[in-house]
Amino acid sequence: MELIRAQRGTKDILPGKIGGGKAEEKSECWQAAEEVLRDEAGVNGFSEIRTPVFEDTRLFQRSVGETTDVVQKEMYIFEDKGGRSVTLKPEGTAGVVRSYLEHGLYNSPAPQKFYYLTPCYRYEKAQAGRQREFHQFGVEIFGSSMPLADAGLIAFAHGLFDRLCVHNLKLKINSIGCPDCRAAYSKALKAYFEQSKDRLCETCLSRLDRNPMRILDCKSPECSAVAEGAPHILDYLCDDCKAHFEGVKAALDSIHISYEIDPTIVRGLDYYTRTVFEFVSSDLGAQSTVCGGGRYDGLVQEMGGKPTPALGFGLGLERLLMVMEAQKVEFPEPQPCELYIASIGEAAQKEAFRMAQELRECSIIAFCDEVGRSLNAQMKYANKLGAQFTLVLGDDELEKGLGVVKNMKTGEKTKVNLNNDLEGQFAAISVQAEDEEDISF
């Protein structure tokens, strides 16, 4: 019978102690990073929101933009059994905005701050750090138009990387203005690209009339070469957008976060306005963006709500873990087995099972034989588990009610009363072993 394998562009994430592999392939590394992300989000006032993995296709067509690569080429769209067009979410913001409006979250005091950890889906060529199924940590803020909110969001991302021990990232910022000043910019871009129409790809030719800014985001080498000489949006900002961008820069300067102004950053989604930013790493080669985001002041209204300033960012977990591994960040080791209870005979096996369960209820990581191994095989298995202590049960130990706990590192043995507070006795043995280890150093 043919073996069914994971779909192309998807990956299994396995326990490191079983599957080995790179950081982005180990579930323990994911858990360690996610714990930091959740903790820092809470410290910064963000609450978790979880939205469905699929939505009405119109949600993404309206929010992400019909001229983007995401909508034109990459979305997983299918018709359900009711004849409705649904799409696996290609990014996290649209679903959060939909939820914000559907549940009247705008009635709560501003700013409203949310975070999420979610899988996303894009049908594109699998690449380093970006499979067809990929995972994002994202945050969204609703209700603040102040430049301080932009700087605070960037500072939050900056702090995340510090907490994760990720260094040598470059922060790039830009302003892509508001609809008013972008109208003049789009006109200038169209005039510029009209001069090189014969060098543009078919997709960019279709964008020329509808949204020439999207040409700046094209990954085609030829289109990128043409775009290098294009006008810069910063030269077309209105007074309000200029003042806002200056406010963002001043706020970043005040907290000593260095940045580089990059007028080529436009981000890949149409809903962005004013501030856009990216954290990039030289450890990822061409796929250098680890985190990107910005302001999207018109999206809530576009989705049917009242005008609401908003901003956020998305951080790719696969790319984050790749950078962490490239920079040799040390991940916490998985918790080892604290006590392995080996058994000889049926009665001892049942007692070992009962004792292990009792210890686990006291948060002690205890295991026993569950596959019928011989005593010798059980001890080998305990070594593979990295068991810190072992206890062997047989008829003699059960009859006397006494056992011996062995420290697998030092060989030291300690008698325990099997009928009286085993959890307390084992805790005392563990503490003593830790104290002796500290003294030895």
Note the pLDDT tens digit of each residue in 375-393: 999 999 999 999 999 999 9
Q: Is the CB of residue 301 less than 8 Å from the CB of residue 307?
A: yes
Residues 164, 121, single domain; the answer is: yes
Query: What CATH number is attached to the domain comprising 162?
Result: 3.30.930.10
Residues 298, 370, single domain; the answer is: no
Residues 305, 353, single domain; the answer is: no
Residues 393, 295, single domain; the answer is: no
Query: What CATH number is attached to the domain comprising 412?
Result: 3.40.50.800
For 90-131, the pLDDT digits (tens) are 999 999 999 999 999 999 999 999 999 999 999 887 776 678
In a domain, 257, yes or no: yes
Strand ranges of the sheet holding 273-281, from the earlier edge strand across to the other edge:
47-48, 112-121, 133-142, 310-316, 289-295, 273-281, 169-175, 260-261
For 192-220, the pLDDT digits (tens) are 888 888 888 888 888 888 888 878 877 78
Q: Of 279, 296, 326, which one is at a domain's C-terminal end?
A: 326
Residues 315, 385, single domain; the answer is: no
pLDDT value of residue 441: 26
Instruction: Tell me: cis bond preceding 309? Omega within 30 of 0 counts.
Output: no
Rounded Cα distance, 47 and 24, in Å: 25
Which is more confident, 282 or 260? 260
Tell whether the model's pLDDT for residue 65 goes beyond 80: no
Tell whether the model's pLDDT for residue 36 goes beyond 90: yes
Which whole number is the average pLDDT over 330-345?
Answer: 90
pLDDT value of residue 204: 85
Six-digit token pair at 121? 């889906």
- Residue with the two structure tokens 């067509």: 61
Residues 108, 133, single domain; the answer is: yes
The mean-pLDDT minimum among 46-60, 98-112, 320-334, 416-430 falls in 416-430
pTM, 2 dp: 0.87
In a domain, 218, yes or no: no
- Residues in Cβ contact with 363 at an 8 Å cutoff, skipping those fewer than 6 apart: none
Tell whether the model's pLDDT for residue 440 goes beyond 60: no
Q: Of 326, 354, 386, which one is at a domain's C-terminal end?
A: 326
Tell me the pLDDT band of 430, cut-offs 50, 70 and 90.
confident
Rounded Cα distance, 207 and 66, in Å: 10
Residues 55, 86, single domain; the answer is: yes
Tell me the pLDDT band of 184, cut-offs 50, 70 and 90.
confident
In a domain, 11, yes or no: no
SS3 139: strand
Tell whether the model's pLDDT for residue 272 goes beyond 60: yes
pLDDT value of residue 286: 63
Rounded Cα distance, 259 and 147, in Å: 15
In a domain, 47, yes or no: yes
Residues 297, 384, single domain; the answer is: no
Helices H / strands E in the chain, number of each:
16, 16
Tell whether the model's pLDDT for residue 164 goes beyond 60: yes
Question: Which candidate, 202, 266, 198, 207, places its Cα nearest to that of 226?
Answer: 198
Residue percentage of the chain with pLDDT more than 70:
94
Mean pLDDT of all residues belonging to the chain: 90
In a domain, 6, yes or no: no
Question: Which candidate, 87, 111, 116, places its Cα nearest to that of 99?
Answer: 116
Tell whether the model's pLDDT for residue 69 goes beyond 70: no
Strand ranges of the sheet holding 85-88, from the earlier edge strand across to the other edge:
54-56, 85-88, 76-79
Q: Of 262, 293, 326, which one is at a domain's C-terminal end?
A: 326
Rounded Cα distance, 264 and 278, in Å: 11
pLDDT value of residue 213: 83
Which whole number is the average pLDDT over 72-96?
Answer: 91
Residues 298, 159, single domain; the answer is: yes
Question: Which candidate, 324, 287, 283, places its Cα nearest to that of 125?
Answer: 287
SS3 7: coil
* Domain interval for residue 98: 16-178+238-326
pLDDT value of residue 98: 97
pLDDT value of residue 268: 63
Tell whether the model's pLDDT for residue 439 goes beyond 60: no
In a domain, 264, yes or no: yes
In a domain, 37, yes or no: yes
Q: Is the CB of residue 7 less than 8 Å from the CB of residue 20?
A: no
Residues 156, 274, single domain; the answer is: yes
Residues 315, 406, single domain; the answer is: no
Residue 32 one-letter amino acid:
A
pLDDT value of residue 428: 84
Question: Which candidate, 73, 62, 61, places its Cα nearest to that of 202?
Answer: 73
Residues 47, 158, single domain; the answer is: yes
Tell me the pLDDT band of 143, cut-offs 50, 70 and 90.
very high
Q: How many domains does the chain have?
A: 2
pLDDT value of residue 435: 61
In a domain, 206, yes or no: no
Burial class (CB in 10 A: 0-12, 13-18, 19+), 81: exposed
